[in-house]
């Protein structure tokens, strides 16, 4: 699928590994009751919405790139808004609106070609990880550690608040690059009609890549 330069520019450094953690199978996290409860919220149809700040730091150059915006996630879909662009993926079709070009790109969605698809992220988080959970004041901290040479991430720290809302996910990959995604104003919403629709002006150029 061709989600477009927005994806490669803004999120190619790993923001959407976050989605993978929100959809992990209960087998991996059987030891972590908090994460199992979080997954149940998605299974029941709730939508997690938040503002996000994302920082990727290269371990070699020590340079950082950052992005911020809004995100909505349910069990199968996600919607992102950041810097004049919006992505909506419903599991079958991807739609990207670029306000700067007033253009919409529509394409068939293939998780295998999506660097930030939940299913792709799951391929990097498997039984090679050991999982621990601890409480600190009103927060729950879940830590994943792997010594496998083929693991995508060697260490991941997930922070949930006392209502099981993700607050921060920090990960270090095999090259010691650091990926930090912070969620602000996180809340769970009941599903509503039109939430995952893409809004754009009537005069926007439509580029349909499905044919």
- CA triple 19-21-25, angle to 5 deg: 115
Judge whether 166 and 48 are in contact, CB under 8 Å. yes
Residue 46, both tokens = 């709730």
Read off the pTM. Answer: 0.74
How confident is the model over 144-154, as pLDDT tens digits?
888 888 777 88
> What confidence tier does 2 reach under pLDDT thresholds 50, 70, 90?
very low
Q: How many structural domains compose the chain?
A: 1
How confident is the model over 75-104, as pLDDT tens digits?
778 888 888 889 898 878 889 999 999 999
Number of Cα atoms under 13 Å in the Cβ half of residue 194: 1
Q: Which residue has the higher pLDDT, 39 or 166?
A: 166
How many H-runs (helices) and E-runs (strands) does the chain carry? 4, 12
Report the alpha-carbon distance of residue 110 to residue 17 in Å, rounded.
16
Look over the chain and give the mean of its residue pLDDT values, rounded to a whole number: 78
Q: Which residues contact 147 (CB under 8 A, 6 or more apart)?
A: 128, 154
Count of CB atoms within 10 A of residue 107's CB?
Answer: 19
- DSSP assignment string, 168-182: EEEEEETT--EEEEE
Could you tell me the residue range of the domain that residue 131 belongs to? 5-208
For the domain that residue 105 is a member of, what is the CATH number? 2.50.20.10
Residue 25, both tokens = 């199978």
């Amino acid at each position: 699928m061709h989600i477009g330069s927005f994806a490669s520019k803004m999120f190619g450094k790993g923001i959407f590994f976050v989605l993978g953690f929100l959809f992990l199978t209960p087998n991996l996290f059987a030891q972590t009751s908090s994460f199992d409860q979080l997954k149940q919220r998605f299974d029941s149809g709730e939508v997690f919405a938040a503002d996000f700040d994302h920082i990727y730091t290269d371990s070699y150059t020590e340079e950082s790139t950052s992005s911020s915006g809004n995100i909505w996630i349910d069990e199968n879909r996600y919607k992102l808004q950041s810097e004049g662009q919006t992505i909506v993926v419903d599991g079958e079709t991807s739609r990207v609106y670029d306000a700067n070009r007033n253009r919409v790109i529509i394409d068939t969605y293939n998780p295998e070609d999506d660097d930030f698809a939940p299913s792709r992220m799951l391929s990097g988080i498997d039984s090679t990880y050991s999982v621990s959970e601890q409480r600190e004041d009103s927060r729950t901290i879940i830590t994943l550690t792997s010594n496998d040479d083929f693991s995508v991430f060697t260490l991941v720290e997930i922070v949930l608040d006392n209502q099981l809302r993700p607050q921060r996910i920090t990960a270090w990959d095999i090259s010691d690059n650091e990926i930090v995604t912070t969620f602000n104003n996180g809340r769970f919403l009941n599903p509503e009609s039109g939430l995952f629709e893409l809004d754009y002006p009537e005069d926007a150029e439509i580029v349909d890549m499905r044919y």
